[in-house]
Structure 1
Amino acid sequence: MCPLYPLQYILMYLILLWPLWLFTCVLAYELPKLSVQYEFENITVEMDKAKEVNFQINNLKENSISSINILSKDPDILKVERQIVFDDANYDMNYLNSSFNATGVWLGKTEVFIQAINQKNEKINITKTLPATVIRKDRVIDHIFTGSVITLVSILYINFGCALDWSYLKETIKKPIGPVIGFFGQFLIMPVLSFVLGRSLFPDSPALQLGMFFTGVSPAGGASNIWTYILGGNINLSIAMTTISTFAAFGMMPLWIFTLGRVIFNSSDSLKVPYMKIGQFAFALVVPLAIGYLIQKYAPNFCKIMVRILKPLASFLLLFIIIFAVVTNTYLFDLFSWRMVVAGLGLPWLGYLLGMVSAIILKQNAKDVLAISIETGIQNTGIAIFLLRITLQQPEADLTTVVPVAVAVMTPFPLMLLFFVKKCRARYNQKKTVLHIMENGRDLEDKQHVETLTANQ
Structure 2
Amino acid sequence: MRWSLTVLAVMVTTGCTGLELLVYPSDVLRIPEDTLHNLTLSLTFNTTQAFDAALNRSGSVLVVRVVPDEEWKLKIVNTPVQFTAQEVTEAACKTVMVSGYYWGHTRLSFYLTVNHVDDQFLPGVLLRDDVVVVVDRSAKLLDSFFIMGVTLFLICNTVNMGCQLDLKLIWQVLRKPVGPVCGFLSQFAFMPGVGEAPVTGCLHTTSLTISMFQFSYLIGWLIFEDPLQRLGLFTLGCCPGGILSNFITLLFSGDLNLSVTMTFISTLSAMGMMPLWMYTLGTSLTSENNYMKVPFANLAISLVSLTVPTGIGMFIKYKRPRWAEISNRLIKPITVLILVLFGAIGAYSSYKAFLMMNGAMLLAGLIITVAGYAFGAIMSKLCCLKRDKIIAISIETAFQNAGVCFIVLKLSLPTPERYPIMGSKDGHQASSVKFMKNVTFGPIGLRTSLWG
Q: For this structure pair, what is the TM-score category when the shorter chain's length is used for normalisation?
A: 0.7 to 0.9
The 1:411/1:153 distance shift into structure 2, 3 A limit, reads closer
1:56 aligns with 2:42: yes
Give 1:134 deviation, angstroms.
Answer: 2.4
Offset of residue 63 of structure 1: 5.2
Give the structure 2 partner of residue 146 of structure 1: 147
Question: CA deviation digits over 1:427-449, x for unaligned, max 9?
Answer: xxxxxxxxxxxxxxxxxxxxxxx
Q: Does 1:72 align with 2:67?
A: yes
Label 1:268 to 1:278 Cα distance change in 2 as closer, same or farther (>3 A): farther
- 1:264 and 2:282 are equivalent in the alignment: no
1:351 maps to which of 372, 377, 380: 372
Deviations 1:6-32 (A, max 9, x none): xxxxxxxxxxxxxxxxxxxxxxxx999
What is the Cα deviation at residue 210 of structure 1? 2.4
Report if aligned partners of 2:81, 2:96 keep a CA contact under 8 Å in 1: no
- Is 1:40–2:52 an aligned residue pair? no
Tell me which residue corresponds to 1:82. Answer: 80
The answer to whether residue 96 in structure 2 is matched with residue 96 in structure 1 is no
Label 1:384 to 1:69 Cα distance change in 2 as closer, same or farther (>3 A).
Answer: same
Q: Distance in 2 between matches of 1:191 and 1:31?
A: 51
Secondary structure in 1 aligned to 2:99?
strand
Deviation of 1:324 after TM superposition, in Å, equals 2.4
Amino acid at match of 2:304: F
Q: How far apart, CA to CA, are the structure 1 residues paired with 2:74 and 2:31?
A: 9
Residue 270 of structure 1, CA deviation = 4.3
Q: CA deviation at 1:49?
A: 2.0
Partner of 1:198: 220
Shift in Å, 1:315:
1.5
Q: 8 Å contact 2:179–2:389 — kept in the other structure?
A: yes
Q: How does 1:335-374 map to 2 (within 5 A)?
A: 335-374=356-395
Name the count of aligned residue pairs: 380
Identity of counterpart residues, as a percentage? 25
Amino acid aligned to 2:110: F
Structure with higher Rg: it is 1
Letter in 2 for 1:200: L
Q: CA separation of 1:313/1:92 partners in 2, compared to 1, >3 Å: closer, same or farther?
A: closer
Deviations 1:383-426 (A, max 9, x none): 223333444437855763444544338989xxxxxxxxxxxxxx
Q: CA RMSD in A?
A: 2.8
More helix per residue: 1 or 2? Answer: 1
> What is the match of residue 198 of structure 2?
none
- When structure 1 is superposed on structure 2, of 402-411 and 318-327 the one drifting more is 402-411
Q: Normalising by the residue count of structure 2, what TM-score does the alignment of the two structures yield?
A: 0.76
TM-score (norm 1): 0.75
Relative distance call for 1:385 and 1:142 in structure 2 (3 A) is: farther
Cα distance change on mapping 1:241 and 1:32 into 2, 3 Å? closer
- CA displacement 1:118-155 (0-9 Å, x = unmatched): 43161454347433222222222223222222221111
CA distance in 1 between partners of 2:297 and 2:31 (Å):
31
What secondary structure, in the 3-state scheme, does the structure 2 residue paired with 1:266 have? coil
- Separation in 2, partners of 1:267, 1:281: 30
Give the Cα separation in 2 of the matches to 1:45 and 1:273: 30
* Local SS of the residue matching 1:373: helix
Residue deviations 1:317-372, cap 9 Å, x none?
Answer: 22234322322221122233332222121111111111111111111122212211
Alignment correspondent of 2:352: 331
TM-superposed deviation, 1:164: 0.5
Counterpart residue number, 1:407: 443
SS in 2 for 1:188: helix
Cα distance, 1:244 vs structure 2: 0.7
Matched, 1:246 2:267: yes
Amino acid at match of 1:371: A
* Pairs within 5 Å for 1:118-197: 118-119=116-117, 120=119, 122=121, 123=123, 124-127=125-128, 129-192=130-193, 193-197=215-219
Does structure 2 conserve the Cα–Cα contact (< 8 Å) formed by 1:211 and 1:401?
no
Structure 2 residue matching 1:191: 3-state secondary structure: coil
Query: CA 1:407/1:221 → structure 2, altered by over 3 Å: closer, same or farther?
Result: same
Shift of 1:184: 0.5
Q: Distance in 2 between matches of 1:410 and 1:221?
A: 13
Q: Work out the CA distance in 1 between the residues paired with 2:88 and 2:327.
A: 83
Q: Confirm or deny that 1:110 pairs with 2:107.
A: yes
My pick for the range that moved more, 184-193 or 390-399, is 390-399
Query: Does structure 2 retain, via aligned residues, the 8 Å contact 1:45–1:103?
Result: no
Mark the CA change 1:270 to 1:84 in structure 2 (over 3 Å): closer, same or farther: farther
Cα offset, 1:245, TM superposition = 0.6
What displacement does 1:282 show? 1.1
CA contact (8 A) 1:159 1:292 kept: yes
Distance 1:252 1:48, change over 3 A: same
**CA, structure 1 residues 106+409, in 2 after alignment: closer, same or farther (shift >3 Å)?**
closer
Tell me which moved more, 379-388 or 311-320.
Answer: 379-388
Distance 1:92 1:278 in 2: 58
Q: Tell me if the contact between 1:258 and 1:268 (Cα under 8 Å) persists in the aligned partners.
A: no
For structure 1, list consecutive stretches of 5 or more residues without a partner in the other structure.
1-29, 413-457
Q: Residue 95 of structure 1: SS of its match in structure 2?
A: coil
What's the CA shift for 1:100?
2.0
Change (3 A) 1:318 1:235: same
Which residue of the partner structure matches residue 5 of structure 1?
none
